Structure 1
Amino acid sequence: MQIEDQTYQNNTHQTTSSVEQESEDKRSDRSFDDIADHFAKKVYGGLKGDIRLAVLRRDIFEYAEDMSKTLERPLRILDVGAGLAQIAIELAALGHTVAINDISANMLDKAKASIACQDTLDNTTWHACAYQKLEDKLAINKMDKFDLILCHALLEWLAEPSDIMRFFDRHLTDCGALSLCFYNPASFVYRNLIMGNFNLLENPDYKADNKKSLTPNYPVAKVEVESWLQQHEYQTVLESGLRVFHDYAPLKRGGHNNPEDVIRMELRYSNQEPFKHMGRYLHILARRL
């Protein structure tokens, strides 16, 4: 196992206190360091997390396997803003070389604790820092460019989300792939329409309490992400929606009472028009041209 001891134990990552001090005209990148337990339970403690991982596994693993066969070697993979890093850890277990990054050391501690096979740690490096500080750490560890970069549920928590595209450009190989998963702001509107929360939608000053809430106040629309990909010369390979119906059913009945059936139907409709656009999160896998 390779660990940056000083950086990992004594990193100078942002804390939530910096978020608490932000103003409307000065945002900062969000860390979940102080609510790591809440994050793990809320995001991955139930069926919502199972659906999310099922869709991402389907989208990513087959593509990674095909890429690895074409290159005739294991892939070099980077997970930026990894959180609990489930997908990255599973890819490492398949033999790929994986670098895992998050601004929160507590989140990475939880990710490491979840690893069942210790052999997985042998081809995994860990970097607890903001992604903007990751470049120097990758150089220290002599990491080459990456064949696949994962960036899941990070864009909506960055102060300047479009800036990360330049980071991808520098660290992705020619014809490498970028896996972007991000919160869908249209789903927020649609769900509150269904729930009858019209007063919330009519309040232009409404903001979730992001000291505890995992609903981002500054999500990035799909059309904007697509414009970034086009400007930076990426070609979309596939698109999926994560939780295209589960969250919109306030009354759970029939098949909703069977988690396996819910996941099966979510997978079926997650990449079909028009349902994929209704996902609470959207996943775009894009290839660099």
Structure 2
Amino acid sequence: MHPIYTPTSHLSESHSSKIHLSKSYELTEAGDRYFDGLAEKFSRSLYQAPRGELRLAMLDYLLPQMLHLEAQPVLDVGGGLGQLAAWLAERGHAVTMAEPSQDMLTHASAWHAERGAAGTLLSDQLCYLAAPLQALPQQAPGPWPLITCHAVLEWLGEPRLAMQILASLLAPGGQLSLMVFNRDALRFSNVVKGNLQKALSDQLAGKGKRQRLTPISPVTHDEICQWGADNGLIMEGVAGVRVFQDYLRQPPEKESDQAALLALEKQYCRQDPHWRLGRYLLYTFTKPEADV
């Protein structure tokens, strides 16, 4: 099994120093949040921390179960730092990675190039597209047999419209791997932390300002189910990612405890009711072969 790696642990100082870090943290005209200037923060906060490591380990575990992976071409929407694109390329897929943030795209392509030079990745199986999700019908129309869109919808002003666009890009019989930040888990986490009034008033969304990484549009399972059905997609499976970790009073320090936590996450990530409180919800949708 090819693990999903943490990019910055492999990115050289020379490449890192070439990444332009702008300070544009405002929302776009469409109400979306891009991450120019935040590639390093993303890597430190999300992927070099235990929560990020567990998220990647769970994707490594779940994606082969939830997708029919047959080395088909993939459109990776909002590919971020490039972990998923690299994982797919290592499995023989030709990957088009679309990402609106030039900083993130530069970071990902530099890391992929280093992995290619080291012989661990066929970098010629990756191509890059500096484009937001809304531009993909013009710039990458497909239709695509496999689309991955992980942790993107919650950073958009109109996540429902994004689901419509993703469905339009899928080929008949194609698969969509969708991962979203779970609004219900965000509420529960705020209660656990003692933010009772915030949870009671349901003021959970972030503002998209400065360097804060609270999603501006966290979504619910019911919303995703409805949006999929509205666009003629069939939900084939769902799993919770980080079902337990975010609610621990003390993060595990010993390797044996970390292994036990991972085993628990794997055991219950698809079992009701536990998956419903995953920090992220991971879905597989398919597009019917013909209209029904």
Shorter-chain TM range is: 0.7 to 0.9
Structure 1 counterpart SS, 2:259: helix
Task: Name the residue aligned to 1:16.
Answer: 24
1:255–1:187 CA distance, 2 compared to 1 (3 A): farther
Task: Please give the TM-score of this superposition, normalised by the length of structure 1.
Answer: 0.82
Note the C-alpha offset of 1:260.
2.6
Q: Distance in 1 between matches of 2:154 and 2:193?
A: 23
* Structure 2 unaligned regions, length at least 5: 1-21
Q: Is the 8 A contact 1:54 1:267 kept in 2?
A: no
Q: Distance in 2 between matches of 1:131 and 1:253?
A: 37
Task: Name the residue aligned to 1:214.
Answer: 213
1:108–1:117 CA distance, 2 compared to 1 (3 A): same
Structure 2 counterpart SS, 1:82: coil
Q: Does 1:107 align with 2:104?
A: yes
Task: Name the residue aligned to 2:58.
Answer: 55
Structure 2 counterpart SS, 1:34: coil
Aligned residues between the structures:
261
Structure 1 counterpart SS, 2:215: coil
Q: Is the 8 A contact 2:31 2:156 kept in 1?
A: yes
Q: Distance in 1 between matches of 2:46 and 2:69?
A: 29
Q: Is the 8 A contact 1:208 1:216 kept in 2?
A: yes
Q: Does 1:187 align with 2:185?
A: yes
Selected match of 2:80 from 79, 83, 99: 83
Task: Name the residue aligned to 2:164.
Answer: 166
Structure 1 counterpart SS, 2:285: strand
Q: Is the 8 A contact 1:255 1:261 kept in 2?
A: no
Task: Name the residue aligned to 1:5.
Answer: none
Task: Please give the TM-score of this superposition, normalised by the length of structure 2.
Answer: 0.81
Note the C-alpha offset of 1:205.
5.6
Task: Name the residue aligned to 2:14.
Answer: none
* Structure 1 unaligned regions, length at least 5: 1-13, 69-73
Structure 2 counterpart SS, 1:258: helix
Superposed counterparts of 1:1-289, under 5 Å: 16=24, 18-19=26-27, 28-64=31-67, 66-68=68-70, 74-115=71-112, 116-118=115-117, 120-138=122-140, 144-203=142-201, 208=206, 210=208, 211-252=210-251, 258-289=257-288
Structure 1 counterpart SS, 2:97: strand
1:75–1:15 CA distance, 2 compared to 1 (3 A): farther
